């Protein structure tokens, strides 16, 4: 036991609660995806239900591996990579918009040569923009009110990246923009400049709705939700899944609506969770995301360095806001967005980048713990000397 503990202390570092939450969500996701892809397997894989189980499990393990590697790297090193990642994301987003693989009338993916895996540049752009804003805010804290030197570069990058993403994925752009606004607010950017950015963001969003690939769909979904004139088919099936699930659910693997609910393994996986595990299971999943947000904010509170605190806050907000929006759509609190449930929905590169983001948060918490331990050790040695 002592050897196991020593190995764990050496290789599994950072906030232990975050590790537990991530593993719980990942395991729960594997169980739910195995059930939710049953009808998909019979339609496209000849009834081979293990195909999607193995594929999703592999991606989850890969994401956890990326998280582990990322948490072993000093988080300050990511500040040096931010500029390159941000610059690289611009041509990738442009290429995806103009020549990318299309799905549901939106070209959001780039097919990687030789391996055939679809890569979504917006995942890289989200991570790069949040890290870049954290870097710029940390370096400009002393002159944060200087509009020309400090704010114009940050606002330009926010508008540019969110605008490019909005051409193919309006909901992702809106969520990223909201995360950036929160990060700028935490970084002490004056409210008058945030108001200016909000006005520009609303104006850019209206342009994206008119010009973007999914603008017509987004406009119709918003109107349908606001006016309440028509319940979309997928939302109707989601309501049925929630209503029939009850308090305790039908039990693992007993979902009926997975046969009728579009994207039951992706956008609407939370409906399958409630159908099979009941309101209790749904509440536990929601609680896990809130715990993840709380622990991410604790890292911010305990951080002595501006960059680490801002980076942890931005990444925590990005993951949990996406989860809350997905849950809100499933239960009818917002228009259909197409956002997946982090760590649970079936995915490819999105899981990898979520693992990378969580690994960076763990790296920040590891760095703060090491600093705290060093200070305590120095204090004890001083006390002994006295």
Predicted confidence pLDDT, tens digits, the chain (386 residues):
666 556 556 667 788 999 999 999 999 999 999 888 877 777 665 666 788 888 889 999 999 999 999 998 888 888 888 888 889 999 988 888 888 777 766 677 787 776 667 788 888 999 999 999 999 888 877 777 777 777 788 888 888 888 888 888 888 888 999 999 999 888 888 888 888 888 888 887 788 777 776 777 777 788 778 877 778 888 889 999 999 998 888 998 888 888 888 888 888 999 999 999 999 999 999 999 999 999 998 888 877 788 888 999 999 999 999 999 999 999 988 888 888 899 999 877 889 999 999 999 999 988 665 554 444 544 444 333 33
Is 90 in the same domain as 217?
Answer: yes
Based on the fold, state whether residues 101 and 150 are members of the same structural domain.
Answer: yes
Residue 380 lies in a domain: no
What tokens does 10 get? 């050496």
Q: What pLDDT sits at residue 10? A: 65
Residue at which a domain ends, from 230, 260, 290: 230
Segment 22-58, tens digit of pLDDT: 999 999 999 999 888 877 777 665 666 788 888 889 9
Residue 19 is predicted with a pLDDT of: 93
Residue 386 lies in a domain: no
Do 206 and 276 reside in the same domain of the chain?
Answer: no
Q: Which of 186, 209, 230 is the last residue of a domain?
A: 230
Given 182, 214, 230, the domain boundary residue is 230
The number of folded domains in the chain is 2
Tokens standing for residue 315: 């990444």
Residues 12, 89 within the same domain: no
| Residues 313 and 237 placed together within one structural domain of the fold | yes
* Token pair 């649970």 in the structure block, residue: 344
- The whole-number pLDDT of residue 22 equals 94
Q: Answer yes or no: do 216 and 241 share one domain.
A: no
pLDDT at position 1: 60
Count CB-CB contacts under 10 A for residue 253. Answer: 13
Indicate if 293 and 186 belong to the same structural domain.
Answer: no
- pLDDT computed for residue 54 by the predictor: 87
% of residues, the chain, pLDDT over 70: 88
Residue 348 lies in a domain: yes
Q: What is the pLDDT of residue 380?
A: 43
Tell me if 264 is assigned to some domain.
yes
Q: pLDDT per residue over 169-209, tens digit each?
A: 888 888 999 999 999 888 888 888 888 888 888 887 788 77
One domain, residues 140 and 268: no
Cα–Cα separations (whole angstroms), residue 269 to 112, 139, 327:
27, 41, 9
Q: What stretches of the chain adopt beta strand conformation (E)?
A: 101-103, 106-111, 118-119
At residue 368, the pLDDT reads 61
What integer pLDDT is reported at residue 47 of this predicted model? 63
Helix (H, G, I), strand (E, B) or coil at 341: coil
327 and 352 part of one domain? yes
Q: Is residue 383 part of a domain?
A: no
What does the pLDDT read at residue 83?
84
Judge if 65 and 189 occupy the same domain. no
Neighbours of 161 (CB within 10 A): 24
Is 130 inside any structural domain? Answer: yes
In a domain, 41, yes or no: yes
Per-residue pLDDT, 358: 94
pLDDT score for 325: 93
- Measured distance CA(205)–CA(47) in Å, rounded: 42
Residues 171 and 101 in one domain: yes
Residue-level pLDDT at 104: 66
Q: Does 271 lie in the same domain as 304?
A: yes
Answer whether residue 300 is part of any domain: yes
Angstrom distance (rounded) from CA 349 to CA 127: 12
Closest by Cα among 322, 286, 282, 303 to 360? 303
Range of the domain at 106: 77-230
Q: What is the pLDDT of residue 46?
A: 63
Beta carbons of 154 and 133 less than 8 angstroms apart? yes
């Amino acid at each position: 036991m002592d050897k196991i503990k020593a190995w764990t202390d050496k290789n599994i570092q950072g906030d232990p609660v975050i590790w537990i939450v991530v593993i719980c969500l990942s395991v729960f996701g594997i169980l739910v995806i195995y059930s939710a892809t049953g009808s998909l397997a019979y339609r496209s894989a000849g009834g081979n239900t293990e195909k999607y189980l193995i594929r999703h499990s592999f991606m989850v393990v890969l994401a956890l591996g990326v998280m582990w590697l990322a948490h072993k790297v000093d988080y300050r090193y990511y500040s040096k990579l931010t500029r390159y990642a941000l610059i690289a994301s611009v041509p990738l987003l442009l290429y995806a918009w103009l020549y990318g693989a299309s799905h549901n009338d939106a070209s959001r993916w780039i097919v990687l040569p030789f391996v055939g895996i679809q890569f979504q540049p917006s995942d890289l752009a989200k991570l790069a923009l949040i890290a870049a804003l954290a870097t710029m805010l940390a370096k400009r804290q002393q002159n944060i009110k200087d509009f020309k030197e400090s704010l114009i570069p940050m606002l330009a990058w926010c508008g540019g990246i969110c605008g490019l993403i909005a051409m193919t994925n309006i909901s992702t752009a809106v969520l990223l923009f909201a995360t950036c606004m929160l990060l700028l607010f935490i970084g002490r950017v004056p409210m008058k400049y945030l108001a200016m950015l909000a006005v520009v963001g609303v104006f850019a969003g209206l342009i994206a709705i008119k010009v973007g690939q999914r603008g017509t769909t987004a406009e119709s979904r918003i109107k349908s939700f606001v006016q309440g004139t028509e319940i979309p088919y997928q939302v109707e099936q989601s309501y049925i899944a929630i209503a029939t699930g009850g308090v305790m659910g039908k039990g693992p693997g007993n979902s009926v609506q997975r046969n009728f609910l579009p994207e039951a393994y992706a956008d609407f996986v939370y409906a399958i969770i409630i159908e099979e595990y009941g309101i209790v299971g749904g509440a536990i999943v929601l609680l896990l995301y809130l715990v993840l947000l709380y622990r991410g904010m604790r890292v911010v509170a305990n951080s002595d360095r501006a960059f680490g605190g801002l980076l942890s806050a931005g990444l925590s907000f990005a993951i949990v806001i996406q989860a809350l929006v997905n849950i809100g759509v499933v239960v009818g609190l917002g228009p259909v967005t197409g956002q997946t449930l982090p760590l649970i929905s079936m995915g490819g590169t999105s899981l990898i980048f979520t693992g990378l983001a969580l690994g960076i948060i763990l790296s920040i918490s590891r760095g703060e713990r090491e600093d705290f331990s060093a200070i305590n050790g120095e204090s004890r040695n001083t006390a002994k000397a006295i």
